[in-house]
Every structure is written in C-alpha cells, then in structure tokens.
Amino acid sequence: MAFREFTSTAERVYDEWIKNADPRTEGWLLMASPLPQSLMIVCYIYFVLSLGPRLMENRKPFELKRILVVYNFGVVALSLHMCYEFVMAGWGTGYSFHCDLVDYSMSPQGVRMLEVCWLYYFSKFIEMLDTIFFVLRKKNSQVTFLHVFHHAIMPFTWWFGVKFSAGGLGTFHALLNCIVHVIMYTYYGLSALGPRYHRFLWWKKHLTSIQLIQFVMITGHIGQYFFMDCPYQFPIFVYIIGLYGVLFLVLFLNFWYHAYTKGKRLPKILQKKNQVQNGNGAHHSKDD
C-alpha cells in the first residue's frame, strides 16, 4: 500500500514537472521520457565495468585499428559541425556571453539552437564507444572512475537541458566541449593510425591542460550569473553547470597529478627523457 502511494505521488510530481518542458521536443528521439536513456546508461556502466571485462578475460584483445581511425575522425567531423551550429545559432550571432536567455520560439535561430543541443546530447551516446573500445582492446587501466563517470553523467544531465532549457548561457560549455573534442579526437585519430605517427604526438600532456582550461572557462562564465540580475528561465541548470565545472576541474587536476606529475601517462618519448633525468630505468607506461 505504501509503495502504491509512493508511486502515485511520484507520477503526480512528474506530471506537474513535465508540464514545463519545451513542447518543441515532442516526438523527438529519446525525448519522451528520461527512462530509455537511463536504461542505456545503466547498460553502458554494467558492460564496461562488469560484463565486458569478464567476456574479454580469456580472449585476445581486438585491434580495431581501422574502426578507431574512422570513429575518431568521425567524431572530429561531428564536433566541428556542432561548433559551427552553436556559433551560428547564437554564440556568434547575437549572444552577449553574459545573460543570454533561452529562445523558446519557432524562429529559425531558436529551432537551430534546439536542434544542435539535441545533436550534442545524442553525441554523448556515440562517445560511449570510447570506453567500449577500451574494454574490447583490454585497455582496462584506462577505464577509470573519471572516464566512466564523465561518459555516464553527461547524457543524463543533457536530457534535462534539451527538454527544458535548450539555449542561452547554459550552452556555452557545450560549445567549449565541442572545440576541445576536435583537438582531442584528432589526437586519438592520429594515434590510431599507427606507430609511425606517434612521434607527432608529443603534445599528449597538453590535452589535459586544454581540458583544465575548459573547466576554468566554464566555471568563470556560469559564475557570472551570481553577480548580475539575469532572468534565466531555469536557474537550476546554472547550479548544475557550475557544480559540473568545479567537480570536473577537481577530478582532472587529480588526474593531472597522478598521470603526469608522477609520470604514469606521459608519452613514451617523454617517459624515456624523464627516466634518463631521474636515473630510473623502470617505467609503467602503456600503449595509446
């Protein structure tokens, strides 16, 4: 009886809450309810943390070289497209980088921003393949808490962003993330091409620097909200983005410390240099 009352109350709360959703998303893929995406995220976590490693335990790792090249440069192309769309939908055509509100109208600009927000949301499911490829290649050391948490939380939170607040100041971090992904997946694509290209990848360490700069900019931009009079339609997303920026800044700083200050994730050419300088012949690197 108590459970039935609880579910009934939850349904009423959900019905009241969903009334404030953007009606333009009605009928869009994955937009009817957060349940389908939640199941997809749970399946992703279960596969990369449990089922996948068990299936691969007594198997040889898959190489997937051609697939990785196509996938990584495909994500580069998609990220470039989203950069262009975010710029043309607002960030280069009228947004002030201060108090930018959501345009809920059916105007070309408003709809264009909604469409690129949905595409960005959907791209987060495509990027889950990063982890699946790690598992299939038995690169289990790269399936870290930071990696899995990042890939799981992004699509979940962005469903709500698209459903309620697709545009305005809450999308600046998406534009920055697309720019970072152009650089990052270019690196991954070059790495997947083979050892003869690895000598051009000395800038691996700077990928984390770029990500750190990204989160500083996200936190700084969204933090303006607390110092200006801005009638942003859904302030809850300001708090979520601010928390996201600070949380990932801390997590990536922690990653930086363990990966590069201690030298565990440096490119091989830099590892060898450090070993010579430190007089240490042993190292614990792994192939990219």
Note the pLDDT of residue 263. 58
Distance CA 222, CA 172 (A): 9
Average pLDDT for 270-275: 46
| 221 flagged as catalytic | no
Q: Rounded distance, CA 129 to CA 142, Å?
A: 13
Q: How far apart are CA 246 and CA 17, in angstroms?
A: 27
Mean pLDDT taken over the chain: 89
Torsion angle of C-alpha atoms 199, 255, 76, 38, degrees rounded to 10 = 150
Q: Which two structure tokens, joined as six digits, stand for 74?
A: 């495909």
Percent of the chain clearing pLDDT 70 (strictly above): 90
pLDDT for residue 278 is more than 60 = no
Per-residue pLDDT reduced to its tens digit, 78-131: 999 999 999 999 999 999 999 999 999 999 999 999 999 999 999 999 999 999
Q: Smallest Cα–Cα separation from 81: which of 6, 229, 185? A: 185
Question: Which among 98, 150, 173, 283 is annotated as catalytic?
Answer: 150
Domain ranges for the chain: 74-278
